[in-house]
Amino acid sequence: MLDAALDTAVRVAATDLTVLITGESGVGKEAFSKVIHALSSRKHNDFIAINCGAIPEGTINSELFGHEKGSFTGAVGDRKGYFETVNGGTIFLDEIGEMPLDTQAYLLRVLESGEFIRVGASKTLKTDVRVIAATNVNLEEAVRKGKFREDLFYRLSTVPIRVPSLKERREDIPVLFRKFAYDFAEKYRMQSIRLDERAELVLENYNWPGNIRELKNVAEQLSVLSEDRHLTAEQLQHSMPQLFNRNLPVLSGRNGGNGSGDNFQERDILYKVLFDMKNDLNDLKALIYELVRSNDLHMPDLNSVRQLAPAYPAGGYPSHTPAFESKDFPHEREPYYTPVEPERVKPIIIESGKAGVGFDKSEEEDSPLAMDEIEKEAIRRALKKYNGRRKEAAEELKISERTLYRKIKQYDL
């Protein structure tokens, strides 16, 4: 995803096309604009970055296009705007979604004809400026709400570039951290900090709501405040406990979000129940796997197991059972339970001579390595399925390639 964005930026740099960069706050949209300018024919001319959301609505027209003396209170002299002073260069308009509607009309004229008028003037001026815009909001939604001009949106998005968030490219986090750590080591004339493998995993598993900006801040804080230059996960937790936070769901309702003590107690109970359920399921999986492995069990066909009828009291099956939509055929209706003849279900068979030893062993041992064996088998099957292609195997297992490489090394696959 990031490679595609960089490739688009490099390709469009040699042209004068208008570019619209989208992405969450802190992903590095301004860095992309600088790359485009540095690779363009305008690289020897001026580049200026303007935050449209930081300029008051009453003065943004003057800032961008200039004004004449006496055009408004406080205009004690003529002033050139950015489109006039950066003529021949590149203007980066950040947070373009915050631009007022009347300013959008001025900008549209500049993009279409290169003409603008100073505030309070009547003379039309010309400029040759390349515009690169960026936003962290959905401009299409803003157009539907009437907060952004549709014609300006299509004019700006001649070449759209989407910069992925940090959580969408977790494999880049350790590399970026090392780069920032090295930069701060040079800046402050100290040895660069390093993280062990478990500490890097902490960074990869953090959600990074502030994206690269937050990662850079973390790298700077650790570079300055850490006495040890080689940090472990335990040291990271002591100095940066927020990196171990997880964005768990919260309860919603009539009293949700008011911060009352009752709500916090309910959330704690919910979290405990969810974690206990997860642990119980993992223990059950481990137990079943150990029983099958150690006792050489012959398991029935999965489809036969799904057709097992529930045990009802002496009254027999209920006359009516609720229906559900089949997963494979969503428009067909089936009963919850399909009665079958007992002989259709194959029993679990334990081979003679093996049951006693294996069963006693499974009772006596807690089998702490059972989940590791399950994980190892899942990775082995995924690699076999895709003929050793790790990228496809990682996608199948819903893990990153970096994690898959580590697991392959760990299990010696």
Confidence grade of residue 29 (pLDDT, cut at 50, 70, 90): very high
Last residue of a domain, one of 228, 244, 260: 244
Query: Do both 93 and 196 map to the same domain?
Result: no
* pLDDT score for 391: 83
**The pLDDT value given to residue 333:** 45
Average pLDDT over the chain reads 80
The C-alpha atoms of residue 374 and residue 246 are separated, in whole angstroms, by 26
Is the pLDDT assigned to residue 368 strictly greater than 60?
no
Higher pLDDT, 263 or 81: 81
Would you state the pLDDT for residue 398? 77
Beta strands in 289-353 (DSSP E): 297-298, 323-325, 333-335, 349-350
Domain that holds residue 232: 167-244
Residue 10 has pLDDT above 60, yes or no: yes
Structural domain ending residue among the three candidates 133, 164, 195: 164
Evaluate whether residue 276 is within a structural domain. Answer: no
58 occurs within a structural domain: yes
Q: In Å, how far are 31, 93, 126, 247, 366 from 88, measured between CA atoms? A: 20, 16, 11, 47, 73
Give the distance, in angstroms, between the CA of residue 399 and the centroid of all CA atoms in the same chain. Answer: 14
List Cβ neighbours of 257 (8 Å cut-off, separation of 6 or more): 250, 263
Q: Are residues 47 and 118 in the same domain?
A: yes
Looking at the 3D structure of the chain, how many domains does it have? 4
Predicted confidence at residue 304, as pLDDT, reads 59
- 357 in a domain, yes or no? no
Indicate whether 56 and 69 sit together in one domain. yes
What pLDDT, in 10s, does the model give residues 180-221? 999 999 999 999 999 999 999 999 999 999 999 999 999 999
Where does 167-253 show beta strands of DSSP type E? 194-195, 230-231
pLDDT tens figures, 378-405? 888 888 888 888 888 888 877 887 888 8
Quick check: 157 pLDDT over 80? yes
Q: Please name the amino acid found at residue 284.
A: L
pLDDT at 316 over 70: no
Question: pTM of the predicted model, to two decimals?
Answer: 0.59
Q: What is the pLDDT of residues 84-107, one digit of tens each?
A: 999 999 999 999 999 999 999 999
Clarify whether residues 43 and 109 are in a common domain: yes
Average pLDDT over residues 16-41: 95
Min mean pLDDT across 86-90, 224-228, 322-326 is at 322-326
Whether residue 228 has pLDDT greater than 80: yes
In a domain, 233, yes or no: yes
pLDDT of 290: 73
pLDDT of 117 strictly over 50: yes
Residue 8 is predicted with a pLDDT of 94
Residue 127 is given by DSSP the state: -
For residue 358, what pLDDT is reported? 44
Q: Which residues contact 33 (CB under 8 A, 6 or more apart)?
A: 19, 21, 47, 49, 90, 92, 132, 134
Q: What pLDDT was estimated at residue 266?
A: 55
Q: 205 with 128, same domain? A: no
Q: Could you tell me which residue, 348 or 173, shows the higher pLDDT?
A: 173
Q: Which of 212, 244, 276 is the last residue of a domain?
A: 244
Amino acid at 143: V
Residue 124 covered by a domain: yes
User: Is 266 among the domain residues?
Assistant: no
Based on the fold, state whether residues 155 and 35 are members of the same structural domain.
yes
150 and 177 in a single domain? The answer is: no
